[in-house]
A and B are shown apart, each in its own frame.
Chain A
Amino acid sequence: MSVKNPDMRPELLQVKDLVIQYETSDGIVKAVNGVNFSLREGETLGLVGETGAGKTTTALGIMRLVPDPPGRIVSGQVFFEGKDLLKENKVQMRAHRGKDISMIFQDPMTSLNPVLTVGDQIAEVVRIHEKLSRADAIKRAAEMLQIVGIPAERMNEYPHQFSGGMKQRVVIAIALACSPKLIIADEPTTALDVTIQAQVLDLIHNIQQKYQTGMLMITHDLGVVAEICSKVAIMYAGYIVEYGSIEDIFEDPRHPYTKGLFGALPNLKKKVHRLSPIDGMMPDPANLPQGCPFEPRCPHRTESCTQKVPEGIEVTPGHMVRCICCAQGGGK
């Protein structure tokens, strides 16, 4: 898939036909069904979708952290700087995590170790990956804290002594400590208040610009996407249903689900009497419809939508939509 303005920056991450399933007693849960996307250095891709769309599973798949069992990466390739991560062994993979690729988790309250000081938690990742002495690692930890806006004196405090926003800054400091090339941020601001969210987003954005880190931003908030992403992938029931630049998605959304998401948001600028929700619920990923996964909820569904899962179609260069209507020139 090409990008609208051909970019000379090297391809950092390329996910190809990734399929991840969970085997449960109720049958096979098809969490991720052939996901494709790519990311260049310094780019931010927003992975948007509702609960259960497969966003987090995709991220865990890239990191090879899908709990196995019950989860299984069935097929696909994840190229990171040209190397297929799915072919790496455990030791090689461990060397990537925290060093080349790091992750910011949703809930800062539970992703820090409560019995270690924050300084030790930042130093830990540096010592493992960069073979620094303890003293040097502690020094790096102090620098990292300052970068994320926490006074270095606080490095001997424990997580419970920090507020939610501050804890998330510590998590970001850990993620950045080894200057990774790719950051996967899984709903990094969902647990925070709006004013704190704005501070944290600002911090993430500045750091990412400064170090030219690639970022995969997982969120359900289209507002957050508009703030910091350059590309967007809309996920529904394990499929990427629409993918393109931020302008493509926000100014020219084509897929009925994407349009539905925008329609369902209460707007601060416009006054509408009633919201237009998307009827129904997301299908059970253990029991997906045979055709288009969105067909049961789609206002434009036709007989042919139930036949098979639509292929992705490039409507304009770099703007992919997985919908039959759009293929036939409709959906505008």
Chain B
Amino acid sequence: MEELIQVKNLKKYFDTPRGKLHAVDDLSFTISHGQTLGVVGESGCGKSTLGRVIIRLLDPTDGTVLFEGKDITRSKDIKSLRRNLQMIFQDPYSSLNPRMSVSEIISEPLIVHHLCRGSAEIEARTRQLMDTVGLASRFINAYPHEMDGGRRQRIGIARALALNPKFIVCDEPVSALDVSIQAQILNLMQDLQESMGFTYMFITHNLSVVKHISTDIMVMYLGMMVEKCPADELFERTLHPYSKALLAAIPEPTLKKDRQAKLLRGEIVSPIEPKPGCRFAARCEFAGPACFERTPDLEEVLPGHYVACHRVNEINQL
């Protein structure tokens, strides 16, 4: 499989009054053509920052991102990158300019990139995009405030599709929506991927959504990757203690009363000037002395299944 995105030792640190905040710390992974990489983690784990660094909405502190084999991390020509790298934002309420009509929002990228000649062509393309994402053409002159969350998110998707990108970062695209609408948007995104061959990076905190849509899943904790494997594998054979806790914490809409599993103690802390050692150690029930001393490396424990944990073999009896 051809690799569309290759991320190598990517780091993004933010300066804060209390020191450097390690939002993304030394991540390496690849995303193949037409695949979906799901990124899960709790708020503050760096998943959104990761998405933004990859498509250069933020500049990395260190490391490289290759797009179709070309290093884009230091590219000066960001405008032409945007034709291939797009983003769908979380909040359909704040990511649309309230003073622009639907047609203005969707056609703006077409105009900026000079992709269409003449207003007739722009309008035709705008209508075509609206049709693709399932927005009735009567909304063409409507403003975002006239529409509900599901329709607004469709505008956001149409805008991201306008340039026919190859790679789309979807940052929690459905978490602001009701379940019945959420399913509509997820189906739409899958259909678009099948018909146009998009590659997605799907950032979410919702594990059932990520399982549904992803080919591979990466679990992040405080800026680091703790586990990465094919989507089904993560749910059948969860290896990292954090991933296990995350899975156990999801309330499931079924009546099985066997849960009452161990709840994770404590809370996520902010990764400012982290000490060496596993960042999850303080909350981990299996933590031993080594966990507080050395940062575990990401290792391929099983074929295609990467885990960063000192004690993964003992815990799972591998």
- Which residues on A are within 8 Å of B, measured CB to CB? 50-51, 163, 165-166, 193-199, 201-202, 220-227, 246-247, 250-251, 260-269, 271-272, 274-279, 281
Q: B116 interface residue, CB < 8 Å from A?
A: no
Please give the distance in Å from A196's CB to the nearest CB on chain B. Answer: 6
Chain B: CB-nearest residue to A264: B183
- Which residues of the partner chain B approach A276 to less than 8 Å between Cβ atoms? 183
How many angstroms between the C-alpha atoms of A178 and B287 in the bound complex?
40
Q: How many A-B residue pairs have CB under 8 A?
A: 113
A277 touches B251 (CB 8 A): no
A194 touches B211 (CB 8 A): no
How many angstroms between the C-alpha atoms of A227 and B247 in the bound complex?
15
A268 touches B235 (CB 8 A): yes
B179 touches A265 (CB 8 A): yes
B3-11, B119-127, B260-268, B295-303 - the one binding chain A: B260-268
B17-25, B60-68, B106-114, B202-210 - the one binding chain A: B202-210
Please give the distance in Å from A224's CB to the nearest CB on chain B. Answer: 5
A267 touches B208 (CB 8 A): yes
The one of B150, B211, B249 in contact with A195, judged by C-beta atoms closer than 8 angstroms, is: B249
- Which residues of the partner chain B approach A266 to less than 8 Å between Cβ atoms? 183, 186, 208-209, 211-213
Q: B284 interface residue, CB < 8 Å from A?
A: no
- Which residues of the partner chain B approach A221 to less than 8 Å between Cβ atoms? 251
Chain A: CB-nearest residue to B213: A266
- Which residues of the partner chain B approach A261 to less than 8 Å between Cβ atoms? 179-180
Q: B91 interface residue, CB < 8 Å from A?
A: no
- Which residues of the partner chain A approach B186 to less than 8 Å between Cβ atoms? 266, 275
**Provided the pairs A195-B42, A276-B183, A281-B148 are in contact, do residues A201 and B251 lie with their beta carbons within 8 angstroms?**
yes
Q: B182 interface residue, CB < 8 Å from A?
A: yes
- Which residues on B are within 8 Å of A, measured CB to CB? 42-43, 148-150, 178-184, 186-187, 190, 205, 207-209, 211-213, 232, 235, 245-255, 259, 263-264, 267-268
Please give the distance in Å from B255's CB to the nearest CB on chain A. Answer: 5
A-B pairs with beta carbons under 8 Å apart, 24 shown: A51-B149, A194-B246, A195-B42, A195-B246, A196-B42, A197-B251, A198-B249, A198-B264, A223-B252, A225-B253, A226-B254, A250-B254, A250-B255, A264-B179, A265-B179, A265-B183, A266-B186, A266-B208, A266-B213, A268-B247, A275-B183, A275-B186, A281-B148, A281-B181
Please give the distance in Å from A166's CB to the nearest CB on chain B. Answer: 7
- Which residues of the partner chain A approach B246 to less than 8 Å between Cβ atoms? 194-195
How many angstroms between the C-alpha atoms of A10 and B231 in the bound complex?
49
Chain B: CB-nearest residue to A284: B148
Please give the distance in Å from A75's CB to the nearest CB on chain B. Answer: 29
Known A-B contacts: A195-B249, A262-B253, A276-B183. Give 9 more (CB < 8 A): A163-B267, A193-B205, A222-B253, A251-B255, A264-B179, A266-B183, A266-B212, A268-B250, A275-B186
How many angstroms between the C-alpha atoms of A194 and B204 in the bound complex?
12
Please give the distance in Å from B247's CB to the nearest CB on chain A. Answer: 8
- Which residues of the partner chain B approach A193 to less than 8 Å between Cβ atoms? 42-43, 205, 268
- Which residues of the partner chain A approach B245 to less than 8 Å between Cβ atoms? 195
How many angstroms between the C-alpha atoms of A227 and B150 in the bound complex?
28
Most buried by A among B205, B209, B267: B267
**Provided the pairs A50-B179, A195-B246, A277-B187 are in contact, do residues A268 and B263 lie with their beta carbons within 8 angstroms?**
no
**Provided the pairs A195-B245, A198-B263 are in contact, do residues A223 and B251 lie with their beta carbons within 8 angstroms?**
yes
Please give the distance in Å from B223's CB to the nearest CB on chain A. Answer: 16
Chain A: CB-nearest residue to B208: A266
A265 touches B253 (CB 8 A): yes
- Which residues of the partner chain B approach A267 to less than 8 Å between Cβ atoms? 208, 212
Most buried by A among B148, B180, B205: B180
- Which residues of the partner chain A approach B248 to less than 8 Å between Cβ atoms? 198
A195 touches B179 (CB 8 A): no
**Provided the pairs A197-B251, A265-B179, A266-B211 are in contact, do residues A277 and B184 lie with their beta carbons within 8 angstroms?**
yes
- Which residues of the partner chain A approach B208 to less than 8 Å between Cβ atoms? 265-268
Please give the distance in Å from A236's CB to the nearest CB on chain B. Answer: 10
B267 touches A226 (CB 8 A): no
B148 touches A197 (CB 8 A): no
Most buried by A among B208, B232, B251, B255: B251
- Which residues of the partner chain A approach B213 to less than 8 Å between Cβ atoms? 266
How many angstroms between the C-alpha atoms of A95 and B247 in the bound complex?
43
Ranked 6 nearest A-B pairs via Cβ:
A223-B251, A277-B183, A222-B253, A266-B212, A264-B183, A50-B178
Most buried by B among A226, A266, A267: A266
B249 touches A277 (CB 8 A): no
How many angstroms between the C-alpha atoms of A50 and B182 in the bound complex?
11
How many angstroms between the C-alpha atoms of A264 and B248 in the bound complex?
22
Please give the distance in Å from A257's CB to the nearest CB on chain B. Answer: 9
How many angstroms between the C-alpha atoms of A199 and B148 in the bound complex?
33
Please give the distance in Å from A24's CB to the nearest CB on chain B. Answer: 15
Chain B: CB-nearest residue to A193: B42
B253 touches A281 (CB 8 A): no
Chain A: CB-nearest residue to B251: A223
**Provided the pairs A227-B251, A268-B211 are in contact, do residues A51 and B178 lie with their beta carbons within 8 angstroms?**
yes
